[in-house]
Amino acid sequence: MTSPQLQQALDAFDARNAKDPKHTVVDGNAMPNELLYAQRMSAMLQRYRPDASEVLQLAARCQHICRWSIARDSYPMTKPGYHQWRNALKAMHAQLASDILRDVGYDDITIQRVAQLVGKAAPLSDPDMQTLEDVIVLVFVEDYLQAFVEQHPDYDTPKLLDILRKTLRKTSPQGREAALTIIRLPDALVPAITQVMQEEGWLPA
């Protein structure tokens, strides 16, 4: 059962993400992109780790909070510029999450822990950080990978396989197993995903 404080925080995160000016139509209804993403993250966490801690539930819901407010083109369109943009986003997500959690009465330890996860300041050897990363990848593969491929028709097969390999390497063995068992893989990409997993030794050839 969701505690009143947790629900209050989730609602506050959703209220912020509902301001995203970009929308996606799902089942005939237009939803703000980041609100949709946040709710998909929560749903995937529930599927992947039904017993997830309150900290993880909070982090999953706010890890992209107000992402649209820092545009990619506000930084140089170079690799260093990309990393500067990503770092600015992480800092913003962590700060916004902290402010909201403080407003709804969470203790400093919880606030700092959520900020650490959302800001990607913990190593993947941290079980919570790895679980969050697994969920991020599972949501990407199930809900966004097909569109990503369609947006990059210039990517040849080796390039696509390299992207898939780098993405799946971020996951734990449990995360990779979940990619094959609990999510809906894009039909057109099943052969490529299977090939990468076999080449990496994660799946019998």
pLDDT at 204: 82
pLDDT at 1: 64
| Domain termination site, one of 65, 100, 121 | 121
| Tokens matching residue 181 | 């068992």
- In order along its 205 residues, the chain shows pLDDT tens digits of 679 999 999 999 999 999 999 999 999 999 999 999 999 999 999 999 999 999 999 999 999 999 999 999 999 999 999 999 999 999 999 999 999 999 999 999 999 999 999 999 999 999 999 999 999 999 999 999 999 999 999 988 899 999 999 999 999 999 999 999 999 998 989 999 999 999 999 988 7
- Answer whether 103's CB lies under 8 Å from 75's CB: no
pLDDT at 132: 99
How many domains is the chain built from? 2
pLDDT at 200: 93
- Answer whether 49's CB lies under 8 Å from 131's CB: yes
Beta bridge partners of 24: 31
Specify whether 146 is located in the same domain as 110: no
Cα–Cα distance, 73 to 65 (Å, whole number): 19
| Domain termination site, one of 121, 138, 163 | 121
Specify whether 46 is located in the same domain as 109: yes
Specify whether 112 is located in the same domain as 152: no
Specify whether 133 is located in the same domain as 116: no
Specify whether 63 is located in the same domain as 128: no
Find the domain containing 187 and state its range: 124-205
Specify whether 116 is located in the same domain as 41: yes
pLDDT at 46: 98
pLDDT at 203: 85
Specify whether 9 is located in the same domain as 58: yes
| Domain termination site, one of 94, 121, 148 | 121
Cα–Cα distance, 148 to 201 (Å, whole number): 25
Number of DSSP helices (H) and strands (E) in the chain, helices first: 10, 2
Specify whether 7 is located in the same domain as 79: yes
Cα–Cα distance, 42 to 65 (Å, whole number): 13
Specify whether 26 is located in the same domain as 6: yes
